Amino acid sequence: MENKVCIVGAGLVGSLLANYMAKRSIQVDMFERRPDMRRTDIPAGRSINLAMSDRGWRALEVVGAEETIRELAIPMHGRLMHDVEGNTHFMPYGKEGQYINSVSRGELNMRLLSLAEKTGKVNTYFDERCTNVDLDNGTLTFTNENTGVETTNTYDRIFGADGAFSAIRNAMMRRDRFNYSQYYITSGYKELTMPPVPEKKWAIDNGALHIWPRKDFMLIALPNLDGSFTCTLFMPFDGEEGFDNLKTHDQVQAFFEKYFPDALQHMPTLLEDWDSNATSPLMTVSCNPWNHKGKFLLMGDAAHAVVPFYGQGMIAGFEGVRILNEMLDKYENWDVAFEEYSKYRQPDGDGIRQLALDNYREMRDLVADEHFIRKRQLSGKIHEIFGENWMPLYTMVTFSHVRYSEAYAKGQWQNKVLNELVATGLSKDSSEAEIKAAVMPYLKVTN
């Protein structure tokens, strides 16, 4: 091999990348700070899930990993909103047959790891913390978390797939002209559980992503294969309805009784969960350049950590791996491929970061707003009529492969157009001819 390659971080993106490298017949050393999750007792929070959608599947497909991951997936066809009275309202994600999937984060990671190891090309080292980075020479030192033993190796190419608090990025940050921003939103989150009802059945509909939108905060729930739901409360830290103000069991109980009564009846372990699960902050990261001299390349959250509200955090990382792979095909010179990837992908990292920030407001507030619902329904109708010439924003992000940066820009434009159309009285119930006539001038397409 001309390239001695290292992947720092064996999380979701690192593990997928290892599969891609193996497929290129490249030998890889992969180091992970945490223990091997396949060999440790699974701690609370094991059931944490994510929403898998089209961009993710496509990236898995290239290395033949799609089928095994499909086994873990529970289809969610839309959002099921719960109001305080317990009424529900279903909002499909897309057209018939378009859905996202609840997948266990841990299971997904373990399967990708095992697939990578099975290729015989990938050596994985766990409990190894990256403690020194020599950017000029590509020399990395790892310190074993249990034994304290240090290992130092030099590589030709190093992928920093070591997450939002990346050690590789920290080293790059001290170099001139590295732009970096970390930003915490005012909300945090806490995970809670809705256990299975008898015979491993789901307590509520397992075919949807559940949302309890409450304007400044929200509860959501995604189904797990064992019949449970993982619920997440997103809420500001400060203020009357804020984490810092919910201190006693009585306060927590009263808060859930007031805002989430229909969820509460299925959450018998609420108070234990509340005490045992941490309240965590939500950070976004933006930086550039991701490439350092063709030797180091930041991937996934290390390059573009986002808030979780579009369900695209990991998926953006997966898509990045696929695109990098295409660049490695296109440019035989890896120096060039790293540089081109870094430049090309940067705006898309920024795009999905912004989309995810915006979607928090949509989920906790707008989904219960009449004007928003009307625009959303009209947008779906326009899509039916105009097809690919008008894709609703959610569809572009979730069910297409349009660049995030482009989706973001188009989404901004569509929102303006929809405001104007709705102001003229247009709705999903208008006739096709009416909708066509109104939308055509914006699209500048001929009939």
Instruction: Count how many residues are written for the chain.
Output: 447
Site membership for a copy of itself, residue 132 (CB under 8 A): no
Classify each residue of 163-191 as buried b or exposed e, where b means 16 or more C-beta atoms within 10 Å of its C-beta. bbebbbbebbeeeeeeeeeeeebebbbbb
CB of 247 to a copy of itself, least distance (A): 19
Span near a copy of itself by CB under 8 A; candidates 172-180, 196-204, 211-219, 226-234? 172-180
Phi, psi dihedral angles at 138 (to 5 degrees): 70, 30
CB 29 within 8 A of CB 156: no
Under rule CB under 8 A, how many of the chain's residues touch a copy of itself? 14
Q: What is the CB neighbour count within 10 angstroms for residue 103? A: 23
Cβ distance to a copy of itself smaller for residue 245 or 430: 245
**Shortest CB 158 distance to a copy of itself, Å:** 22
Q: How far is the CB of 160 from a copy of itself (least distance, A)?
A: 17
User: C-alpha 306: how far from its chain's center?
Assistant: 7
Q: Record the tokens describing residue 103, joined without a space.
A: 């997948």
User: How large is the angle between the packed helices 54-62 and 313-330, nearest 10 degrees?
Assistant: 40
Work out whether strand 88-92 and strand 150-154 pair parallel, antiparallel, or are unpaired.
unpaired
Q: How far is the CB of 287 from a copy of itself (least distance, A)?
A: 9
Contacting a copy of itself within 271-300 (CB under 8 A): 281
Least distance CB 143 / a copy of itself (angstroms): 17
Cα separation, 381 vs 329, whole angstroms: 40
Select from 87, 146, 179, 447 the one that contacts a copy of itself (CB under 8 A).
179
Q: Which of 182, 276, 333, 419: binder of a copy of itself (CB under 8 A)?
A: 182
For position 183 contacting a copy of itself by CB under 8 A, the verdict is yes
Q: Tell which positions 234-273 bind a copy of itself, by CB under 8 A.
A: 237
Q: Which of 330, 319, 400 is nearest to 59 (CA)?
A: 319
Evaluate whether 191 touches 152 at the Cβ level (below 8 Å): no
Q: Does 413 bind a copy of itself (CB under 8 A)?
A: no
Tell me whether residue 91 or residue 130 sits nearer to a copy of itself (CB atom): 130
* Identity of the residue, 243 or 259, whose beta carbon is nearer to a copy of itself in the bound complex: 243
Options 114, 181, 333, 424; binder of a copy of itself; rule CB under 8 A: 181
Which of residues 19 and 354 has its CB atom nearest to a copy of itself in the complex?
354
Residues 6+ apart with CB under 8 A from 394: 93, 94
Site residues (vs a copy of itself, CB under 8 A): 165, 173-174, 176-184, 237, 281
